[in-house]
Amino acid sequence: SQKIEQNSEALNIQEGKTATLTCNYTNYSPAYLQWYRQDPGRGPVFLLLIRENEKEKRKERLKVTFDTTLKQSLFHITASQPADSATYLCALPSYNTDKLIFGTGTRLQVFP
């Protein structure tokens, strides 16, 4: 079955720096991958979707890359702010289905 690996250790960075989060997956390569943000006590919020034929996608200060050879997606937040502090989840469809499975997320802490 498909496995998603996100760094379980929190990422602490200083305001203004670029945060880079990693999502690795095993087995088959999905047709797309999604990233979500989750704040404590809230549901995940959809941020970006990237398809397998797209190497990179941007939205304001966010950038996502998708490397099907490495089986990896990188999620970048440039000029990070304390308000960016949250847990970030990657998600992709399970093999041969449309069911979206989620990684366990990486907690980002941006300090002033």
Q: Considering beta carbons, is residue 63 or 105 the nearer one to another protein?
A: 105
Rule CB under 8 A: which of 47-86 touch another protein?
47, 49
**31 lies in the binding site for another protein (CB under 8 A):** yes
**105 lies in the binding site for another protein (CB under 8 A):** yes
Closest contact distance (angstroms) between CB of 71 and another protein is: 18
Give yes or no for a contact between 25 and 3, defined as CB atoms under 8 angstroms apart.
yes
CB atoms within 10 A of CB 9: 8
CB atoms within 10 A of CB 22: 15
71: which 2 tokens?
A: 């089986």
Which chain residues interact with another protein by CB under 8 A?
31-32, 34, 36, 41-47, 49, 89, 93, 97-105
